[in-house]
Amino acid sequence: MEYAVLPKSGYDKFISFLAKQKKLVAPVYKGNNHYAFEPVTNAEQISLSYIPTILPPKKYFMPQYETLVEYDTHEGQNMQAVVELEDLILFGVHTCDIAGIQCLNMVFIDRPRDLNYLIRKNHIIIIGFECNNYCDSDASCGLMDTYNPNGGYDLFLTDLGDYFLVHISTHAGEELVVKSKAFEDVKPNHFEDLKALRKKKEGIFKPEVPVNRDDIPKMFEEGFDCEVWEEIGNRCLSCANCTNVCPTCYCFDVKDIPNLDLKTGKRIRIWDSCQNEPFAKVAGGESFREKRKDRKRHRFNRKFNYPVKRYSRFFCTGCGRCTRVCMAEINLKETIVALAEQTGYIKKSAKQEVK
Amino acid sequence: MEKILINRSGYRIKEAKILRTKKMTETEKLFEIGLADGDSLDYDPGQFVEVSLFGVGEAPISICSSPTKKGSFEMCVRSIGRFTSAMHRLEKGNEIGIRGPFGVGFPVRHLEGMDILMVAGGLGIAPLRSLINYILDNRRDYGKVMILLGCRNPKSMLFSDEVDGWGKRMDVNFNCTVDKADPDWQGNVGVITSLIPGVDINPEKTYAVVVGPPVMYKFVISEILKKGIPDSRILVSLERHMKCGLGKCGHCQIHDIYCCQDGPVFFYDRIKNLKGAI
């Protein structure tokens, strides 16, 4: 069984079933065109039509604050390494955010492995949800080619009118489908519907910036000293909003939180940001990315250049969050256009406006 | 939230004990460390460890002893921040935690049979001493050994007893300089770059090894290149804040390189085109 059909009439039943299995987390509307992944118990709480949530599902895989080690110094330096985890079903995850989780997987499985991440991720079931159209104009999933499903989920739902076609990718996903008793068998016309949707999407999702994706790492390499970095560096406030909301930013700090007895406590990991000035500072006082332009350029290169060398994939998923949250209105697509113009990589034939 | 206990975490420390300390200068203190389980730490010259003091935190510290010395290892620590000042308050018998060793040290196999020019500025002598002592302990496996040392003033000279010994050995060409002399100083005065033109080297078979504060590299390397040593035979050890040591946290990243895993020792030709690396 690779596909199944969930009639819209069975949707409520399926969600209620999921909520009874494990803690269920799904996109919830928070007002002012903002959404967040939050625990839900029924279908009414869920907003299936949503723009990317304030924080990506990264927060469940790599929590903002997590304990790595518990220590006791009453007699020497005693410690116990721990993993904090929670059985979860993540429902309604867009393909861009699934791509983000795939990026994080690569980082944390790379040796030396990060067991805190790897153990935790095996306790999370991912149910994806297809975007039939752009969420808004800040997204660049056309350029990054993340608007169609490309693995990394247990189940994947596509809204095809009065039913969802569901791709069953794992045994864990299959169990949910079978046990929920909310599904019907798939018929040939369902695949035709899916094919028609995907074809329609090819007409909708186009590279939002007129550059060849394969040229991007080279463009960043050659554009290291371009004016665009100075220009966005001058505007940047170093607030680190962009790194916090990024589905693939994983930089962290490790620090000790002593208990009141000052003998016991924990060593924790918290999110950190390469946009903060002290991030690349050493004890001697030297700061290796002292200027905002250095730090902005570093972050962009960590999405479009360095990970391509290290992990053979882009670490931008095109979700558009960094653009939406930037208080200085630094826009990812405009930045890439400016860089492409300054390096000569802009497609001359396509004098199209940035969408 | 459930919590499970694990044994194989990258954040697990090895318990260790301070066997000996020695105040070296006003700001530097030497620590000799033994692992609690009695094992020797298995490391290469030029590697570093994360030193842990629960309640204070962790800091990356380079090992300044040679792995040829068994049973214990040494670190020379400058008191400069919160962690290192807490470390300076520790004495013989106190316990600390150790993670590592981490990273890529000096490629001693590449160096075998070659002449070695070693240049250390300031605290750079600490990681370089691990290589110097390794080479001196395997002296016949290496060609000519040249050591150039620079520091701010005679009082800030580290490992001065050993340095005197290097100066007296017939199988070491040694020279040193201070930026600023005091009345008793009889040696060279000037920056370390001034010593390089005077060394007699065969560029065909010499490796240069440079360790020092970030500002030093550009000037020293340019002098070394003038001597005809190619950039593929210049080694540098770069200083960055290796927070996790595991190639993840991002603090020590230079372009696509993680200094803690891919370094801290690099062949100069690997990093010379990475802007901001040195």
Reported as a single tens digit per residue, the pLDDT across A109-133 is 999 999 999 999 999 999 999 999 9
Host H or E run for residue A169: none
Question: Which residues belong to CATH 3.40.50.80 in chain B?
Answer: 108-271
The pLDDT value given to residue A349? 57
**Residues for chain B: how many in total?**
278
Chain A residue numbers touching B96 (CB-CB < 8 A): 77
What is the number of other CB atoms lying within 10 angstroms of the CB of residue B20? 14
Torsional sign, CA A341, A344, A347, A350 = positive
pLDDT at B224: 96
Whether A247 and A96 have beta carbons less than 8 Å apart is answered as: yes
**Neighbouring C-beta atoms of residue A99, cutoff 10 Å:** 27
ipTM: 0.92
Res A350: pLDDT: 52
Identity (one letter) of the amino acid at A60?
A: Y
Mean pLDDT of B239-255: 95
Q: How far apart are CA A137 and CA A159, in angstroms?
A: 21
- CATH number 3.20.19.10 is the correct assignment for the domain at B14-101: no
The three-point CA angle B83-B86-B92 to 5° equals: 125
3-state DSSP call for residue A118? helix
Residue among A71, A114, A224 minimizing CB distance to B275: A224
Q: For residue B135, give how far its alpha carbon lies from the nearest alpha carbon of chain A (Å).
A: 28
If you search the block for the tokens 């609690």, which residue do you land on? B36
Question: Which among A239, A210, A245, A193 is positioned nearest to A57, based on CA atoms?
Answer: A245
Tell me what the mean pLDDT of segment A160-189 comes to.
97
Residues 79-138 of A with CB under 8 A from B: 79-87, 107-108, 110, 112-116, 119
Nearest neighbour of B80 by CB, restricted to A113, A254, A283: A283
In chain A, the residue whose alpha carbon lies closest to the alpha carbon of B213 is: A284
| Phi, psi (degrees; rounded to nearest 5) at B65 | -100, 170
**Which 239-268 residues of chain B touch chain A by CB within 8 A?**
239-241, 243-244, 246-256, 261
| Residue type (1 letter), B19 | L
The per-residue pLDDT of chain B, averaged, comes to 95
Mean pLDDT of B91-100: 96
pLDDT of the residue at A284 = 84
Which of A68, A85, A294 is facing B9, going by the closest CB pair? Answer: A68
Which helix H or strand E contains A11, and what residues bound it? helix A11-21
| pLDDT of B94 higher than 60 | yes
Residue % of chain B over a pLDDT of 90: 95
pLDDT of residue A333 exceeding 60, the answer is yes
The tokens for A311 are 């992990």
pLDDT digits (tens, 9 = 90+) for B19-54: 999 999 999 999 999 999 999 999 999 999 999 999
**Model confidence pLDDT, tens digit, residues B200-245:** 999 999 999 999 998 899 999 999 999 999 999 999 999 999 999 9
Q: Does A287 touch chain B (CB under 8 A)?
A: no
pLDDT at residue A54 is higher than 90:
yes
Indicate the SS3 state at residue B136.
helix
pLDDT at residue A354, as a whole number: 53
B80, B141 Cβ separation under 8 angstroms: no
Helix runs in A248-325, H state only = 292-304, 306-311, 321-325
Please tell me the distance from the alpha carbon of residue A296 to that of residue A299, in angstroms, as a whole number: 5
CATH node for B108-271? 3.40.50.80
Q: How far is residue B265's CA from residue B43's CA, in Å, rounded to a whole number?
A: 14
The residue-averaged pLDDT of A18-46 equals 97
A119 conformational bin, left if phi > 0, alpha if psi -120 to 50, beta if neither? alpha
